Amino acid sequence: MRVYTDGACRNNIGGWAWYNADNGEWRHGVETSSTNQRMELKAALEAINEHFLDADLVIVSDSRYVVDCFGEKWWAKWVQNGWLGTKGGEIVNRDLWEPLLEIVQDHGNVKFEWVKGHNGDPGNEKADELAVGAVLNHQKESKKHGKRQPTAKSASKRKDEATAGDGVHRGGGTAAGRETDGVAEASSA
């Protein structure tokens, strides 16, 4: 089973989504005070939770942050070092990494595959559309009900994120602009 995942963030409102290209099922959600990387993790976690009983599961993501953690086994160093990075700081997004690692290990047969974002892959494009849609729908509803949106922090912008005309930051870039030990989530653009 191949499930595409994606995250998006606009003005600190994060959206996550997964899309099962085999049967067209999907889910998405939002988180306030979030980042794109948190939403990439949340999307993978939710996808695995939903497809836990599927024997062979491939999570297809445009996030090197997610894919490389498992492919390059960053997580093993994190666990060995008590969830501290190479520079001694706590691993960013540990609250999502720990349950993600646990469910991947419990499942026993989850593979992660990287796909270049915004490059015409139909599953990736659909997951992106759903994640962005979750953010935009939340913001539309918030405006309708008179809730003020938080402002974006410049530090949350990653060099490898593309910004579309709708102002939503999307992942899908290279590993540039972040430390690979997971401690630094973003660099100043």
User: Active-site residues: which are they?
Assistant: 6-7, 40, 62, 118, 128
Q: Which positions ≥6 away from 135 have C-beta within 8 Å?
A: 8, 9, 10, 13, 14, 15, 30, 168
What whole-number distance in Å separates Cα of residue 36 and Cα of residue 15? 8
Q: For residue 3, what is the enclosing H or E element?
A: strand 2-10
Classify burial at 70, counting beta carbons within 10 Å of its beta carbon; exposed 0-12, middle 13-18, buried 19 or more. middle
Return the closest-CA partner of residue 165 out of 132, 138, 117, 130. Answer: 132
Tokens for 44? 């993978």
Q: Which positions ≥6 away from 36 have C-beta within 8 Å?
A: 7, 8, 9, 14, 156, 158, 161, 169, 170, 171
What whole-number distance in Å separates Cα of residue 130 and Cα of residue 51? 18
What whole-number distance in Å separates Cα of residue 117 and Cα of residue 93? 22
